[in-house]
Chains A and B, each alone.
Chain A
Protein backbone atom coordinates (compact mmCIF):
# COMPACT_ATOMS: atom_id res chain seq x y z
CA UNK A 1 0.00 0.00 0.00
CA UNK A 2 2.68 2.48 1.04
CA UNK A 3 5.48 0.89 -0.95
CA UNK A 4 4.94 3.02 -4.08
CA UNK A 5 6.72 5.57 -6.14
CA UNK A 6 3.39 7.28 -6.78
CA UNK A 7 3.50 10.79 -5.36
CA UNK A 8 7.27 10.61 -4.90
CA UNK A 9 8.15 12.81 -7.88
CA UNK A 10 11.68 13.00 -9.21
CA UNK A 11 12.40 16.49 -10.41
CA UNK A 12 16.11 16.25 -11.16
CA UNK A 13 18.39 13.69 -12.72
CA UNK A 14 20.19 13.42 -9.39
CA UNK A 15 16.97 12.44 -7.67
CA UNK A 16 16.14 10.06 -10.48
CA UNK A 17 19.37 8.13 -10.08
CA UNK A 18 19.55 7.94 -6.30
CA UNK A 19 20.44 4.68 -4.60
CA UNK A 20 17.07 4.17 -2.93
CA UNK A 21 14.44 5.62 -5.26
CA UNK A 22 11.53 4.68 -3.00
CA UNK A 23 10.80 6.61 0.18
CA UNK A 24 10.18 3.48 2.19
CA UNK A 25 13.49 1.97 1.11
CA UNK A 26 15.24 5.17 2.07
CA UNK A 27 13.71 5.26 5.53
CA UNK A 28 14.38 1.55 5.96
CA UNK A 29 18.02 2.17 5.20
CA UNK A 30 18.26 5.06 7.67
CA UNK A 31 16.62 2.90 10.30
CA UNK A 32 19.06 0.08 9.65
CA UNK A 33 21.99 2.47 10.00
CA UNK A 34 20.54 3.93 13.19
CA UNK A 35 20.17 0.46 14.70
CA UNK A 36 23.60 -0.66 13.50
CA UNK A 37 25.39 2.38 14.92
CA UNK A 38 23.16 3.43 17.80
CA UNK A 39 21.65 0.28 19.25
CA UNK A 40 23.73 -2.81 18.55
CA UNK A 41 26.99 -1.49 20.10
CA UNK A 42 25.25 -1.22 23.48
CA UNK A 43 23.92 -4.76 23.46
CA UNK A 44 26.63 -6.64 21.65
CA UNK A 45 28.46 -9.43 23.49
CA UNK A 46 31.51 -11.48 22.56
CA UNK A 47 29.51 -14.33 21.07
CA UNK A 48 27.51 -12.08 18.75
CA UNK A 49 30.55 -10.11 17.74
CA UNK A 50 32.95 -12.99 17.10
CA UNK A 51 30.61 -15.62 15.73
CA UNK A 52 28.16 -13.54 13.72
CA UNK A 53 28.55 -9.82 13.20
CA UNK A 54 32.28 -9.40 12.64
CA UNK A 55 32.67 -12.34 10.24
CA UNK A 56 29.62 -11.07 8.37
CA UNK A 57 31.07 -7.57 8.07
CA UNK A 58 34.55 -8.78 7.10
CA UNK A 59 33.25 -11.17 4.47
CA UNK A 60 30.92 -8.48 3.13
CA UNK A 61 33.90 -6.31 2.25
CA UNK A 62 35.59 -9.21 0.47
CA UNK A 63 32.36 -10.05 -1.36
CA UNK A 64 32.00 -6.42 -2.46
CA UNK A 65 35.54 -6.61 -3.79
CA UNK A 66 35.10 -9.82 -5.71
CA UNK A 67 31.74 -8.63 -6.99
CA UNK A 68 33.38 -5.58 -8.51
CA UNK A 69 35.74 -7.82 -10.42
CA UNK A 70 33.50 -10.79 -11.14
CA UNK A 71 30.01 -9.32 -11.05
CA UNK A 72 30.62 -5.90 -12.58
CA UNK A 73 33.64 -6.43 -14.80
CA UNK A 74 33.04 -10.09 -15.63
CA UNK A 75 36.54 -11.34 -14.81
CA UNK A 76 36.46 -14.57 -12.82
CA UNK A 77 39.13 -14.74 -10.14
CA UNK A 78 40.09 -17.63 -7.91
CA UNK A 79 42.93 -15.75 -6.30
CA UNK A 80 40.89 -14.04 -3.57
CA UNK A 81 42.35 -16.13 -0.74
CA UNK A 82 45.85 -15.11 -1.80
CA UNK A 83 44.84 -11.45 -1.96
CA UNK A 84 43.29 -11.64 1.50
CA UNK A 85 46.61 -13.05 2.70
CA UNK A 86 48.43 -10.08 1.18
CA UNK A 87 46.12 -7.76 3.15
CA UNK A 88 46.63 -9.74 6.35
CA UNK A 89 50.41 -9.90 6.10
CA UNK A 90 50.73 -6.25 5.13
CA UNK A 91 48.63 -5.34 8.15
CA UNK A 92 50.82 -7.55 10.34
CA UNK A 93 54.05 -6.03 9.09
CA UNK A 94 52.69 -2.50 9.49
CA UNK A 95 51.28 -3.19 12.94
CA UNK A 96 54.58 -4.59 14.20
CA UNK A 97 56.78 -2.01 12.46
CA UNK A 98 54.75 1.09 13.30
CA UNK A 99 53.00 0.46 16.64
CA UNK A 100 51.61 4.01 16.83
CA UNK A 101 49.88 4.00 13.50
CA UNK A 102 46.08 4.33 13.58
CA UNK A 103 44.40 1.05 12.65
CA UNK A 104 42.33 2.77 9.95
CA UNK A 105 45.54 3.83 8.25
CA UNK A 106 46.97 0.33 8.56
CA UNK A 107 43.89 -1.32 7.13
CA UNK A 108 43.63 1.09 4.21
CA UNK A 109 47.35 0.79 3.45
CA UNK A 110 46.99 -2.99 3.45
CA UNK A 111 44.25 -2.56 0.89
CA UNK A 112 46.54 -0.32 -1.15
CA UNK A 113 49.37 -2.86 -1.18
CA UNK A 114 46.93 -5.61 -2.15
CA UNK A 115 45.69 -3.40 -5.00
CA UNK A 116 49.24 -3.26 -6.38
CA UNK A 117 49.59 -7.03 -6.13
CA UNK A 118 46.18 -7.48 -7.73
CA UNK A 119 47.26 -5.25 -10.58
CA UNK A 120 50.19 -7.55 -11.33
CA UNK A 121 48.11 -10.71 -11.20
CA UNK A 122 45.45 -9.00 -13.31
CA UNK A 123 47.81 -8.69 -16.25
CA UNK A 124 46.87 -12.11 -17.74
CA UNK A 125 43.26 -10.88 -18.06
CA UNK A 126 44.37 -8.75 -20.97
CA UNK A 127 44.99 -11.84 -23.04
CA UNK A 128 42.74 -14.54 -21.61
CA UNK A 129 39.11 -14.73 -20.62
CA UNK A 130 36.61 -16.78 -18.67
CA UNK A 131 37.65 -20.17 -17.32
CA UNK A 132 41.19 -19.74 -18.58
CA UNK A 133 41.52 -16.56 -16.58
CA UNK A 134 40.11 -18.31 -13.51
CA UNK A 135 42.83 -20.92 -13.82
CA UNK A 136 45.47 -18.23 -14.32
CA UNK A 137 44.37 -16.45 -11.14
CA UNK A 138 44.86 -19.71 -9.28
CA UNK A 139 48.54 -18.93 -9.73
CA UNK A 140 48.07 -15.92 -7.47
CA UNK A 141 46.36 -18.08 -4.88
CA UNK A 142 49.08 -20.72 -4.70
CA UNK A 143 52.05 -18.45 -5.22
CA UNK A 144 51.06 -15.93 -2.54
CA UNK A 145 50.27 -18.55 0.09
CA UNK A 146 53.54 -20.31 -0.70
CA UNK A 147 55.44 -17.03 -0.47
CA UNK A 148 54.07 -16.11 2.94
CA UNK A 149 55.00 -19.56 4.23
CA UNK A 150 58.42 -19.65 2.67
CA UNK A 151 59.95 -16.35 3.73
CA UNK A 152 60.33 -15.80 7.47
CA UNK A 153 60.46 -12.03 7.06
CA UNK A 154 56.71 -11.97 6.49
CA UNK A 155 55.91 -13.59 9.85
CA UNK A 156 58.85 -11.97 11.69
CA UNK A 157 60.58 -15.36 11.94
CA UNK A 158 58.18 -16.60 14.61
CA UNK A 159 58.76 -20.21 15.53
CA UNK A 160 55.23 -21.38 14.75
CA UNK A 161 55.02 -19.60 11.42
CA UNK A 162 51.83 -17.96 12.69
CA UNK A 163 51.17 -14.26 12.80
CA UNK A 164 49.46 -12.80 15.85
CA UNK A 165 47.86 -9.38 15.97
CA UNK A 166 49.22 -7.14 18.74
CA UNK A 167 46.81 -4.80 20.54
CA UNK A 168 46.29 -1.62 18.54
CA UNK A 169 44.05 1.35 19.08
CA UNK A 170 41.76 3.64 17.14
CA UNK A 171 41.23 6.98 18.91
CA UNK A 172 42.06 5.41 22.27
CA UNK A 173 39.89 2.30 21.87
CA UNK A 174 41.56 -1.05 21.42
CA UNK A 175 40.25 -2.77 18.29
CA UNK A 176 42.72 -5.65 17.97
CA UNK A 177 44.31 -8.04 20.41
CA UNK A 178 42.83 -10.20 23.14
CA UNK A 179 41.50 -7.42 25.32
CA UNK A 180 39.64 -5.42 22.67
CA UNK A 181 35.96 -5.00 23.49
CA UNK A 182 33.30 -6.50 21.26
CA UNK A 183 31.65 -3.13 20.67
CA UNK A 184 34.89 -1.44 19.59
CA UNK A 185 35.77 -4.22 17.16
CA UNK A 186 32.26 -4.23 15.75
CA UNK A 187 32.11 -0.48 15.27
CA UNK A 188 35.55 -0.42 13.66
CA UNK A 189 34.46 -3.00 11.09
CA UNK A 190 31.07 -1.37 10.61
CA UNK A 191 32.55 2.02 9.78
CA UNK A 192 34.80 0.40 7.18
CA UNK A 193 31.95 -1.62 5.69
CA UNK A 194 29.66 1.38 5.35
CA UNK A 195 32.46 3.51 3.92
CA UNK A 196 33.57 0.90 1.43
CA UNK A 197 30.04 -0.01 0.38
CA UNK A 198 29.47 3.68 -0.34
CA UNK A 199 32.64 3.77 -2.44
CA UNK A 200 31.61 0.60 -4.27
CA UNK A 201 28.21 2.05 -5.06
CA UNK A 202 29.75 5.28 -6.34
CA UNK A 203 32.29 3.52 -8.48
CA UNK A 204 29.71 1.25 -10.05
CA UNK A 205 27.10 3.90 -10.87
CA UNK A 206 29.09 6.27 -13.11
CA UNK A 207 31.68 6.31 -15.83
CA UNK A 208 33.91 3.61 -14.36
CA UNK A 209 31.07 1.27 -13.45
CA UNK A 210 29.59 1.50 -16.93
CA UNK A 211 32.94 0.76 -18.54
CA UNK A 212 33.24 -2.32 -16.32
CA UNK A 213 29.76 -3.53 -17.20
CA UNK A 214 30.35 -2.82 -20.88
CA UNK A 215 33.47 -4.99 -20.83
CA UNK A 216 31.53 -7.68 -18.98
CA UNK A 217 28.54 -7.73 -21.32
CA UNK A 218 30.32 -7.46 -24.65
CA UNK A 219 33.97 -6.58 -24.77
CA UNK A 220 34.07 -5.95 -28.53
CA UNK A 221 31.24 -3.43 -28.42
CA UNK A 222 32.85 -1.84 -25.37
CA UNK A 223 36.03 -1.24 -27.31
CA UNK A 224 34.05 0.24 -30.21
CA UNK A 225 32.42 2.86 -27.99
CA UNK A 226 35.78 3.97 -26.68
CA UNK A 227 36.48 1.82 -23.62
CA UNK A 228 40.13 0.93 -23.25
CA UNK A 229 39.82 -2.73 -22.20
CA UNK A 230 43.38 -2.78 -20.90
CA UNK A 231 42.91 0.02 -18.40
CA UNK A 232 39.36 -0.95 -17.48
CA UNK A 233 40.17 -4.53 -16.55
CA UNK A 234 43.30 -3.59 -14.64
CA UNK A 235 41.39 -0.95 -12.71
CA UNK A 236 38.78 -3.54 -11.79
CA UNK A 237 41.53 -5.86 -10.56
CA UNK A 238 43.12 -3.08 -8.52
CA UNK A 239 39.89 -1.82 -6.93
CA UNK A 240 38.67 -5.34 -6.26
CA UNK A 241 41.98 -6.30 -4.68
CA UNK A 242 41.86 -3.19 -2.53
CA UNK A 243 38.56 -4.32 -1.02
CA UNK A 244 39.74 -7.90 -0.62
CA UNK A 245 42.98 -6.70 0.97
CA UNK A 246 41.09 -4.58 3.49
CA UNK A 247 38.93 -7.58 4.22
CA UNK A 248 41.98 -9.81 4.67
CA UNK A 249 43.62 -7.39 7.05
CA UNK A 250 40.45 -7.23 9.18
CA UNK A 251 40.06 -11.00 8.96
CA UNK A 252 43.47 -11.38 10.53
CA UNK A 253 43.69 -8.43 12.92
CA UNK A 254 40.17 -8.00 14.23
CA UNK A 255 38.33 -11.26 13.56
CA UNK A 256 40.79 -14.10 14.21
CA UNK A 257 43.72 -12.32 15.86
CA UNK A 258 46.14 -15.09 14.94
CA UNK A 259 46.42 -17.02 11.70
CA UNK A 260 48.50 -19.50 9.79
CA UNK A 261 48.43 -18.63 6.13
CA UNK A 262 47.75 -22.01 4.53
CA UNK A 263 44.87 -22.67 6.84
CA UNK A 264 43.32 -19.20 6.91
CA UNK A 265 43.68 -18.20 3.27
CA UNK A 266 43.63 -21.47 1.37
CA UNK A 267 41.84 -22.13 -1.88
CA UNK A 268 38.62 -22.88 0.06
CA UNK A 269 38.42 -19.18 0.93
CA UNK A 270 38.58 -18.23 -2.75
CA UNK A 271 35.75 -20.64 -3.49
CA UNK A 272 33.73 -19.51 -0.50
CA UNK A 273 33.96 -15.93 -1.70
CA UNK A 274 32.99 -16.90 -5.23
CA UNK A 275 29.95 -18.78 -3.87
CA UNK A 276 29.00 -15.71 -1.86
CA UNK A 277 28.75 -13.43 -4.84
CA UNK A 278 27.08 -16.03 -7.05
CA UNK A 279 24.43 -16.85 -4.45
CA UNK A 280 24.00 -13.25 -3.40
CA UNK A 281 23.78 -11.89 -6.92
CA UNK A 282 26.48 -10.99 -9.41
CA UNK A 283 26.77 -7.33 -10.18
CA UNK A 284 24.81 -6.00 -7.23
CA UNK A 285 26.04 -4.30 -4.06
CA UNK A 286 23.16 -5.71 -2.09
CA UNK A 287 23.93 -9.22 -3.33
CA UNK A 288 27.41 -9.04 -1.82
CA UNK A 289 25.90 -8.50 1.61
CA UNK A 290 23.21 -11.12 1.18
CA UNK A 291 25.75 -13.68 -0.07
CA UNK A 292 28.10 -12.98 2.82
CA UNK A 293 25.22 -13.18 5.29
CA UNK A 294 24.00 -16.43 3.77
CA UNK A 295 27.32 -18.26 3.91
CA UNK A 296 28.44 -16.83 7.25
CA UNK A 297 25.18 -17.03 9.16
CA UNK A 298 23.74 -20.22 7.73
CA UNK A 299 26.39 -22.51 9.30
CA UNK A 300 25.93 -20.79 12.66
CA UNK A 301 22.18 -21.16 12.43
CA UNK A 302 22.36 -24.81 11.38
CA UNK A 303 24.81 -25.63 14.12
CA UNK A 304 22.59 -23.98 16.70
CA UNK A 305 19.56 -25.87 15.52
CA UNK A 306 21.23 -29.26 15.18
CA UNK A 307 23.47 -29.24 18.24
CA UNK A 308 21.53 -27.14 20.70
CA UNK A 309 17.95 -27.88 19.73
CA UNK A 310 18.03 -31.37 18.19
CA UNK A 311 21.06 -32.59 20.23
CA UNK A 312 22.90 -34.12 17.28
CA UNK A 313 26.45 -35.29 18.02
CA UNK A 314 28.86 -32.51 17.01
CA UNK A 315 30.66 -34.48 14.30
CA UNK A 316 27.44 -35.50 12.58
CA UNK A 317 26.18 -31.93 12.80
CA UNK A 318 29.37 -30.69 11.17
CA UNK A 319 28.93 -33.07 8.24
CA UNK A 320 25.21 -32.37 7.96
CA UNK A 321 26.06 -28.69 7.79
CA UNK A 322 28.04 -29.21 4.58
CA UNK A 323 25.26 -31.30 3.07
CA UNK A 324 22.55 -28.82 3.94
CA UNK A 325 24.47 -25.75 2.80
CA UNK A 326 25.25 -27.48 -0.49
CA UNK A 327 21.57 -28.24 -0.83
CA UNK A 328 20.61 -24.63 -0.10
CA UNK A 329 23.06 -23.39 -2.70
CA UNK A 330 21.65 -25.73 -5.34
CA UNK A 331 18.04 -24.86 -4.55
CA UNK A 332 18.77 -21.14 -4.65
CA UNK A 333 20.55 -21.36 -7.96
CA UNK A 334 17.85 -23.52 -9.53
CA UNK A 335 15.12 -21.16 -8.36
CA UNK A 336 16.98 -18.04 -9.39
CA UNK A 337 20.33 -18.29 -11.16
CA UNK A 338 20.91 -14.60 -10.69
CA UNK A 339 21.02 -14.94 -6.94
CA UNK A 340 19.07 -13.90 -3.91
CA UNK A 341 19.35 -10.23 -4.86
CA UNK A 342 17.20 -11.00 -7.91
CA UNK A 343 14.57 -12.75 -5.75
CA UNK A 344 14.58 -9.69 -3.55
CA UNK A 345 14.06 -7.48 -6.60
CA UNK A 346 11.10 -9.60 -7.73
CA UNK A 347 9.62 -9.41 -4.26
CA UNK A 348 9.93 -5.64 -4.27
CA UNK A 349 8.35 -5.40 -7.72
CA UNK A 350 5.40 -7.46 -6.48
CA UNK A 351 5.13 -5.38 -3.35
CA UNK A 352 4.89 -2.19 -5.37
CA UNK A 353 1.71 -3.45 -7.00
CA UNK A 354 0.27 -5.16 -3.96
CA UNK A 355 -2.59 -5.91 -3.40
CA UNK A 356 -3.11 -6.08 -7.18
CA UNK A 357 -1.46 -8.89 -9.15
CA UNK A 358 -0.50 -6.70 -12.13
Chain B
Protein backbone atom coordinates (compact mmCIF):
# COMPACT_ATOMS: atom_id res chain seq x y z
CA UNK B 1 0.00 0.00 0.00
CA UNK B 2 2.75 2.43 0.88
CA UNK B 3 4.44 2.05 -2.47
CA UNK B 4 1.47 3.48 -4.31
CA UNK B 5 1.09 7.12 -5.26
CA UNK B 6 -2.17 7.40 -3.33
CA UNK B 7 -2.84 8.86 0.05
CA UNK B 8 -3.40 6.66 3.06
CA UNK B 9 -4.36 7.22 6.68
CA UNK B 10 -2.02 6.28 9.51
CA UNK B 11 -3.02 4.47 12.67
CA UNK B 12 -3.17 7.75 14.58
CA UNK B 13 -5.46 9.28 12.00
CA UNK B 14 -3.11 11.53 10.01
CA UNK B 15 -3.43 11.54 6.24
CA UNK B 16 -0.22 10.87 4.35
CA UNK B 17 -0.36 12.22 0.82
CA UNK B 18 1.44 11.33 -2.39
CA UNK B 19 5.21 11.82 -2.63
CA UNK B 20 6.25 15.44 -2.30
CA UNK B 21 9.95 15.05 -2.89
CA UNK B 22 11.40 12.20 -4.90
CA UNK B 23 15.11 11.53 -5.07
CA UNK B 24 15.96 9.26 -7.98
CA UNK B 25 19.32 7.53 -8.34
CA UNK B 26 21.26 10.29 -6.62
CA UNK B 27 25.05 9.98 -6.66
CA UNK B 28 27.33 12.58 -5.15
CA UNK B 29 31.12 12.50 -5.36
CA UNK B 30 33.80 14.78 -3.99
CA UNK B 31 36.82 14.07 -6.17
CA UNK B 32 37.45 10.37 -5.66
CA UNK B 33 35.25 10.08 -2.58
CA UNK B 34 31.73 8.90 -3.11
CA UNK B 35 29.46 10.44 -0.49
CA UNK B 36 26.18 9.15 -1.88
CA UNK B 37 25.83 6.08 -4.09
CA UNK B 38 22.79 5.74 -6.30
CA UNK B 39 20.12 6.44 -3.70
CA UNK B 40 16.42 6.53 -4.45
CA UNK B 41 13.77 7.43 -1.93
CA UNK B 42 10.80 9.70 -1.55
CA UNK B 43 9.23 11.89 1.11
CA UNK B 44 5.45 11.90 1.15
CA UNK B 45 3.25 14.83 1.98
CA UNK B 46 2.48 15.06 5.68
CA UNK B 47 4.81 12.35 6.87
CA UNK B 48 7.73 12.33 9.26
CA UNK B 49 10.59 10.72 7.42
CA UNK B 50 13.76 9.80 9.25
CA UNK B 51 17.17 9.31 7.70
CA UNK B 52 19.45 7.24 9.92
CA UNK B 53 22.80 5.60 9.61
CA UNK B 54 26.23 5.44 11.27
CA UNK B 55 28.57 8.44 11.24
CA UNK B 56 29.81 9.35 7.79
CA UNK B 57 27.01 7.47 6.06
CA UNK B 58 26.12 10.51 3.94
CA UNK B 59 22.97 11.63 5.76
CA UNK B 60 23.92 15.29 6.05
CA UNK B 61 25.18 15.25 2.46
CA UNK B 62 21.73 14.03 1.49
CA UNK B 63 20.09 17.00 3.23
CA UNK B 64 22.59 19.28 1.54
CA UNK B 65 21.56 17.84 -1.81
CA UNK B 66 17.88 18.45 -1.03
CA UNK B 67 18.84 21.97 0.05
CA UNK B 68 20.82 22.78 -3.04
CA UNK B 69 24.17 23.12 -1.30
CA UNK B 70 25.55 20.17 -3.19
CA UNK B 71 24.70 19.33 -6.74
CA UNK B 72 24.72 15.58 -7.34
CA UNK B 73 26.67 14.31 -10.34
CA UNK B 74 23.93 11.85 -11.18
CA UNK B 75 20.27 11.50 -10.48
CA UNK B 76 17.13 13.55 -10.55
CA UNK B 77 15.08 15.35 -7.93
CA UNK B 78 11.33 15.78 -8.31
CA UNK B 79 9.53 18.30 -6.11
CA UNK B 80 5.75 18.15 -6.26
CA UNK B 81 6.06 15.93 -9.31
CA UNK B 82 8.18 18.38 -11.27
CA UNK B 83 11.80 17.77 -12.09
CA UNK B 84 13.93 20.30 -10.24
CA UNK B 85 16.53 22.24 -12.15
CA UNK B 86 19.87 22.88 -10.40
CA UNK B 87 19.12 25.75 -8.02
CA UNK B 88 20.84 27.92 -5.46
CA UNK B 89 19.94 27.30 -1.81
CA UNK B 90 18.07 30.62 -1.48
CA UNK B 91 15.88 29.73 -4.45
CA UNK B 92 15.05 26.43 -2.83
CA UNK B 93 14.10 28.28 0.36
CA UNK B 94 11.59 30.24 -1.70
CA UNK B 95 10.07 26.95 -2.86
CA UNK B 96 9.15 26.18 0.73
CA UNK B 97 11.99 24.05 2.07
CA UNK B 98 13.41 25.11 5.43
CA UNK B 99 15.99 23.44 7.60
CA UNK B 100 17.93 23.45 10.84
CA UNK B 101 21.57 22.55 11.23
CA UNK B 102 23.51 19.95 13.13
CA UNK B 103 25.70 22.66 14.64
CA UNK B 104 23.41 25.52 15.52
CA UNK B 105 23.49 28.12 12.77
CA UNK B 106 21.74 31.05 14.43
CA UNK B 107 22.62 34.68 13.81
CA UNK B 108 24.58 35.36 16.98
CA UNK B 109 24.44 39.14 16.79
CA UNK B 110 20.64 39.26 16.78
CA UNK B 111 17.89 38.74 19.35
CA UNK B 112 15.61 35.69 19.42
CA UNK B 113 12.84 37.76 17.88
CA UNK B 114 15.04 39.03 15.06
CA UNK B 115 16.36 35.55 14.39
CA UNK B 116 12.88 34.17 14.01
CA UNK B 117 11.88 37.21 11.95
CA UNK B 118 14.63 36.31 9.48
CA UNK B 119 12.65 33.13 8.87
CA UNK B 120 9.97 35.36 7.36
CA UNK B 121 12.33 36.93 4.81
CA UNK B 122 10.97 34.74 2.02
CA UNK B 123 7.53 36.21 2.71
CA UNK B 124 8.60 39.86 2.87
CA UNK B 125 8.66 41.85 -0.32
CA UNK B 126 8.60 45.64 0.20
CA UNK B 127 11.24 47.34 -1.89
CA UNK B 128 14.15 49.55 -0.91
CA UNK B 129 12.14 52.76 -1.23
CA UNK B 130 9.36 51.73 1.14
CA UNK B 131 11.85 50.15 3.52
CA UNK B 132 13.71 53.46 3.70
CA UNK B 133 10.51 55.42 4.33
CA UNK B 134 9.30 52.73 6.77
CA UNK B 135 5.91 54.29 7.56
CA UNK B 136 3.37 52.63 5.28
CA UNK B 137 3.86 49.31 3.48
CA UNK B 138 7.12 48.38 5.21
CA UNK B 139 5.71 48.83 8.69
CA UNK B 140 2.48 47.04 7.77
CA UNK B 141 4.46 44.11 6.39
CA UNK B 142 6.61 44.06 9.50
CA UNK B 143 3.56 43.88 11.77
CA UNK B 144 1.87 41.17 9.70
CA UNK B 145 4.97 39.02 9.83
CA UNK B 146 5.53 39.80 13.48
CA UNK B 147 2.11 38.27 14.17
CA UNK B 148 3.15 35.02 12.50
CA UNK B 149 6.42 35.06 14.44
CA UNK B 150 4.63 35.66 17.72
CA UNK B 151 2.51 32.57 17.05
CA UNK B 152 5.69 30.56 16.55
CA UNK B 153 7.12 32.04 19.75
CA UNK B 154 3.97 31.05 21.63
CA UNK B 155 4.02 27.59 20.09
CA UNK B 156 7.61 26.98 21.17
CA UNK B 157 7.06 28.61 24.56
CA UNK B 158 9.98 31.01 24.27
CA UNK B 159 8.14 34.26 25.07
CA UNK B 160 10.50 35.08 27.91
CA UNK B 161 13.61 35.16 25.74
CA UNK B 162 12.08 37.18 22.93
CA UNK B 163 14.55 40.05 23.19
CA UNK B 164 17.58 38.14 24.47
CA UNK B 165 20.59 37.93 22.15
CA UNK B 166 20.71 34.30 21.03
CA UNK B 167 24.41 33.97 21.84
CA UNK B 168 23.51 34.22 25.53
CA UNK B 169 20.99 31.35 25.46
CA UNK B 170 21.66 27.79 26.63
CA UNK B 171 22.09 25.10 24.01
CA UNK B 172 18.63 23.57 24.22
CA UNK B 173 16.93 26.93 23.80
CA UNK B 174 19.16 27.82 20.88
CA UNK B 175 18.04 24.62 19.17
CA UNK B 176 14.47 25.66 19.83
CA UNK B 177 15.02 29.13 18.41
CA UNK B 178 16.56 27.60 15.32
CA UNK B 179 13.50 25.40 14.92
CA UNK B 180 11.43 28.56 15.36
CA UNK B 181 13.29 30.29 12.57
CA UNK B 182 12.61 27.37 10.25
CA UNK B 183 8.94 27.20 11.31
CA UNK B 184 8.40 30.92 10.79
CA UNK B 185 8.96 30.36 7.09
CA UNK B 186 5.85 28.13 7.14
CA UNK B 187 7.67 25.59 4.99
CA UNK B 188 6.09 22.76 3.08
CA UNK B 189 9.07 20.58 3.86
CA UNK B 190 11.12 20.94 7.01
CA UNK B 191 14.56 19.35 7.19
CA UNK B 192 15.97 18.77 10.67
CA UNK B 193 19.61 17.79 10.97
CA UNK B 194 20.01 16.08 14.35
CA UNK B 195 17.48 18.23 16.21
CA UNK B 196 18.17 16.40 19.46
CA UNK B 197 21.94 16.06 19.41
CA UNK B 198 23.48 16.91 22.76
CA UNK B 199 20.19 17.26 24.60
CA UNK B 200 19.16 15.76 27.90
CA UNK B 201 16.10 13.55 28.22
CA UNK B 202 13.64 16.34 29.05
CA UNK B 203 14.88 18.51 26.22
CA UNK B 204 14.56 15.55 23.86
CA UNK B 205 11.01 14.95 25.00
CA UNK B 206 10.15 18.60 24.45
CA UNK B 207 11.72 18.59 21.03
CA UNK B 208 9.94 15.36 20.01
CA UNK B 209 6.68 16.90 21.13
CA UNK B 210 7.33 20.03 19.07
CA UNK B 211 8.17 17.96 16.00
CA UNK B 212 5.00 15.89 16.33
CA UNK B 213 2.90 19.01 16.94
CA UNK B 214 4.35 20.83 13.96
CA UNK B 215 3.52 17.85 11.80
CA UNK B 216 0.06 17.45 13.30
CA UNK B 217 -1.10 21.05 13.61
CA UNK B 218 0.47 22.64 10.54
CA UNK B 219 0.61 19.53 8.37
CA UNK B 220 4.28 20.19 7.69
CA UNK B 221 6.21 17.39 6.07
CA UNK B 222 9.34 16.65 8.06
CA UNK B 223 12.56 14.88 7.17
CA UNK B 224 14.95 14.40 10.05
CA UNK B 225 18.34 12.94 10.75
CA UNK B 226 18.66 11.59 14.24
CA UNK B 227 20.91 9.22 16.14
CA UNK B 228 18.62 8.50 19.07
CA UNK B 229 16.96 5.27 17.87
CA UNK B 230 14.27 5.38 20.52
CA UNK B 231 13.11 8.77 19.28
CA UNK B 232 13.39 7.85 15.61
CA UNK B 233 11.38 4.66 15.94
CA UNK B 234 8.81 6.50 18.04
CA UNK B 235 8.01 9.51 15.96
CA UNK B 236 8.76 8.68 12.34
CA UNK B 237 6.39 7.17 9.80
CA UNK B 238 9.09 5.78 7.56
CA UNK B 239 12.83 5.43 7.88
CA UNK B 240 15.66 5.43 5.32
CA UNK B 241 18.84 3.72 6.48
CA UNK B 242 22.15 4.70 4.93
CA UNK B 243 25.60 3.20 5.30
CA UNK B 244 28.75 4.20 3.44
CA UNK B 245 26.71 6.38 1.10
CA UNK B 246 24.34 3.61 0.03
CA UNK B 247 20.77 2.93 1.04
CA UNK B 248 20.55 -0.32 2.98
CA UNK B 249 17.00 -0.11 4.25
CA UNK B 250 13.74 1.74 3.76
CA UNK B 251 10.37 1.23 5.38
CA UNK B 252 8.34 1.59 8.53
CA UNK B 253 10.24 1.59 11.83
CA UNK B 254 9.21 -2.02 12.41
CA UNK B 255 10.38 -3.20 9.02
CA UNK B 256 13.70 -1.41 9.41
CA UNK B 257 14.28 -2.70 12.93
CA UNK B 258 14.07 -6.30 11.75
CA UNK B 259 16.10 -5.83 8.59
CA UNK B 260 19.25 -7.95 8.66
CA UNK B 261 21.33 -5.44 6.63
CA UNK B 262 20.43 -2.67 9.07
CA UNK B 263 21.26 -4.79 12.08
CA UNK B 264 24.61 -5.66 10.53
CA UNK B 265 25.40 -2.04 9.83
CA UNK B 266 24.66 -0.98 13.38
CA UNK B 267 25.98 -3.96 15.31
CA UNK B 268 28.68 -5.14 12.94
CA UNK B 269 28.99 -8.54 11.27
CA UNK B 270 30.86 -11.41 12.82
CA UNK B 271 33.79 -12.28 10.60
CA UNK B 272 34.09 -15.95 11.31
Contacts and interface: CB of A to CB of B under 8 A. Distances in A.
Interface in B131-186: 131-134, 138-139, 141-143, 146-147, 150, 181-182, 185
Contacts of A228: 88, 90
A214 B122 CA distance: 13
Interface string A210-221: 110110111011
A221 B141 contact: no
Contacts of A2: none
B118 A210 contact: yes
Contact of A206 (B99, B105, B131, B147): B131
A217 B109 CA distance: 6
Category for how many chain A residues contact B: 20 to 34
A1 B185 CA distance: 42
A225 interface: yes
B110 A217 contact: yes
A303 B272 CA distance: 88
Interface residues of B, number: 41
A111 B126 CA distance: 23
A226 B114 contact: no
B139 A226 contact: no
Most interface-central of B90, B93, B119, B146 (chain A CB within 10 A):
B90
A26 B50 CA distance: 52
Interface string B88-130: 1110011000110100011111100010011101101110100
Contacts of B128: 203, 208, 235, 239
Most interface-central of B101, B107, B122 (chain A CB within 10 A):
B107
B220 interface: no
B181 A223 contact: no
Q: Is the interface of A mostly helix, strand, loop or mixed?
A: helix
Interface in A198-248: 199, 202-203, 205-208, 210-211, 213-214, 216-218, 220-229, 235, 239
A214 B182 CA distance: 14
B98 A225 contact: yes
B67 interface: yes
8 tightest A-B contacts by CB? Answer: A226-B93, A217-B107, A221-B105, A202-B134, A226-B122, A207-B124, A223-B89, A13-B146
11 contacts: A17-B146, A202-B138, A203-B132, A213-B110, A214-B107, A217-B108, A223-B93, A224-B90, A225-B98, A225-B185, A226-B90
Given A210-B114, A218-B107, A239-B128, 7 more contacts: A206-B131, A210-B110, A210-B121, A214-B121, A218-B106, A222-B118, A225-B119
